[in-house]
Chains A and B, each alone.
Chain A
Amino acid sequence: MSWITARRRHPAAGYAVVVLGLVLVGVVYAAIAGYGASAAGLPPGSSAQEVAQGRELFEVSCATCHGLNAEGTARGPSLIGVGAAAVDFQVSTGRMPAKTMGAQVPQKPPTLDAAQTHALATYVASLGGGPPVPAAAQVSPAGANVGLGQQIFVAECAQCHNFSGAGGALTYGKYAPALTSATPTQIYEAMLTGPQSMPVFNDTTIPPSEKRDIIRYITQTRSEPNPGGFSLGRVGPVTEGLVGWLAGIGLLILAAMWITAKQREQ
């Protein structure tokens, strides 16, 4: 009898098998998840303006990857000409300063506060121009045409971000993030500057009024209640089928076992 077989009745035998199974699944999953090629470069920019505080912050937080004069290095693209809007988007969503260099830089809690972000954005804008941070009135969804916003969203945005803004997969480990927490300013800036893989929708292609329509559609949809019950993720029939089989058929089978169970005694 082998060593393992001799211990098959050990009190911890069952737990050991479960732990082994979990470890195996974890190792396999770690091997295949989270991969992707590094992001390619960003377009270069144009002219400049200086702000001292921004420059200080830049040297501390950004220069390691983007170069002392934002000219770019092997680790990060040039920021000359990206504009204040791009900087405000990346820093206020916490994507920058980046901690890891995987397929895509993920959103995380921002490390710089609003004032610091503004200074940084002004400094970078001073280096080469680029789109400015939109004003509050420019991004406000109030009074926007949400019906037109819906039509543009499903033709230009939903193919990556999904019909309700739940996000979606791109190639090589990249993804379009969910739009659940983006502020109107961030949404506007993202459309304007095309962060990472996202294309650029400048103000002459999708004018500011239409951008407001899209913002209203996004913000109104994500805050809209689900009248039919739990939303199941708002990703469509996949989760519906899962719930139908597991909750529906699963619970019904349990009920069937109860109905047909043999009586113990009368």
Chain B
Amino acid sequence: MTDQDDHFDGPRGDRASRKRTGIARRRVIGTPSPATRHLLGDDGAGDRPSAVTKPRELPADLPNPERAKRVERVVALCFTISVLASLAFVASYVIFPIHSIDKVLKSNLGLGLSMTVALLALGVGATIWVRHLMPQVELTEARKPLASPEQDRAAFRETFTEGAEASQFVKRPLVRRTLLAASVALGIAPLVLLRDLGPLPRKQLDYTAWKKGTRLVVFGSNNPITPAEFSTPGGIITVIPEGTAGDLEALAKAAVLIIKFRPEELLPPTVLNWTVDGIVAYSKICTHVGCPAALYEHTTHHILCPCHQSTFDAQRGAKVIFGPAPRALPQLPITIDAAGYLVAQSDFHEPVGPSFWELG
């Protein structure tokens, strides 16, 4: 018993036909696995009674009114739960105070839970309604080929060419070309307006806030530091130029790590003239893409950048030993001033941070 499809490709191709989904469940002796049952059509979709055209496309009611009544109650229950949850949302908003972490935790839980239940109940109710309260149909709609029929295309071509000729656009190249030139010229105006988005870089990337004699101050406390205070080998601390504590643009280039070695431990290409008593200063700004390269393993003397694993050897001039950074961390020349505090001898001898086209 096979299905008869109603033919639906009429001349206008847009009448729909109707088939009903199959109902009878088949009993089969033996145990085909669940995966193959659908291949045998055991999900009830195998057999279809032959469709008969009726005046209505969509049936008005379900075949089983008892069951429909039960389902209706379930759906109504879902929607009622949703109403209550929405009211609970309003109640949570009013009841739960905020302004501290613990209170916000309760408020978030109350508001969020009621909101979730309200939405979920609506979704579940609506789904049960569609699946079990609406009569099941499977309809077919015809597709027309998407390409327009040739006479429509011809008519379009005609209209378009007539218009083009009437506009003289094709026949008068002078007008056409000057119009194009005017449009292009006008289009430059918005681009020009963007020029003042920012200053030209010029040489700004080549210099930092470090100058000759600038004191190194510890990040956070802003206190200067002497070699005697920073004397335990294996020590590391972040220092910034004195006076730049709140200046984020300066910090973005001038943050520096000082590391304490025993003087005999430092090796080339570390510039020993730029160190003080085994204390060496390197730029903290990673030469890959600018994260602070701050992890320091004092047993291996490796500086590891946590972003992309660029690794620098602090004992040997912070040269790159692994990872995507293309160049060593620049070394800041340091010395001590008259009061005994660590100061910079000068700015870095090369630009800090990520490489750029004009780096040279």
User: A residues touching B (Cβ–Cβ < 8 Å)?
Assistant: 39-41, 43, 148, 151-152, 155-156, 159-160, 168, 170-172, 174, 176, 194, 196-202, 204-207, 210, 224-229, 255, 258-259, 261-266
> Using a Cβ cutoff of 8 Å, how many contacts connect chains A and B?
127
Please determine whether A266 and B62 come into contact, CB atoms closer than 8 angstroms: yes
Known: A197-B300, A225-B101. A259 touches B230 (CB 8 A): no
Q: Mind listing 7 A-B residue pairs with CB under 8 Å?
A: A159-B292, A197-B297, A202-B231, A204-B228, A224-B101, A261-B131, A263-B131
Task: Determine the residue in chain B with the shortest Cβ distance to A194.
Answer: B234
Q: At the interface, is chain A mostly helix, strand, loop or mixed?
A: loop
**B298, CB-defined interface residue at 8 Å:** yes
Task: Determine the residue in chain A with the shortest Cβ distance to B220.
Answer: A152
Please determine whether A151 and B220 come into contact, CB atoms closer than 8 angstroms: yes
Q: Which of B112, B260, B292, B296 counts the most chain A CB atoms within 10 A?
A: B296
In this complex, the interface size class of chain B, counting residues with CB under 8 Å from chain A, is 35 or more
Cα–Cα distance between A197 and B296 once the two chains are bound (Å): 8
**B21, CB-defined interface residue at 8 Å:** yes
Task: Determine the residue in chain A with the shortest Cβ distance to B62.
Answer: A266
Please determine whether B23 and A266 come into contact, CB atoms closer than 8 angstroms: yes
Q: Which listed segment binds A: B1-9, B153-161, B188-196, B235-243?
A: B235-243
Please determine whether A170 and B298 come into contact, CB atoms closer than 8 angstroms: no
**Interchain CB contact (< 8 A) of B238 among A156, A224, A228, A264:** A156
Task: Determine the residue in chain B with the shortest Cβ distance to A198.
Answer: B298
Top 6 A-B residue pairs of the complex, sorted by shortest distance between their CB atoms: A204-B229, A159-B294, A227-B105, A197-B297, A152-B220, A227-B104
Nearest chain B CB to A256 CB, angstrom units: 10
Nearest chain B CB to A259 CB, angstrom units: 5
**B183, CB-defined interface residue at 8 Å:** no
Please determine whether A263 and B298 come into contact, CB atoms closer than 8 angstroms: no
Cα–Cα distance between A176 and B297 once the two chains are bound (Å): 10
Apart from the given pairs A227-B104, A229-B109, A263-B136, 15 other A-B contacts in the complex at a CB distance below 8 Å: A43-B232, A43-B233, A155-B292, A171-B297, A194-B235, A197-B297, A199-B235, A199-B259, A200-B234, A202-B231, A202-B235, A205-B235, A229-B108, A265-B25, A266-B62
Nearest chain B CB to A176 CB, angstrom units: 8
Cα–Cα distance between A210 and B108 once the two chains are bound (Å): 35
Please determine whether A199 and B108 come into contact, CB atoms closer than 8 angstroms: no
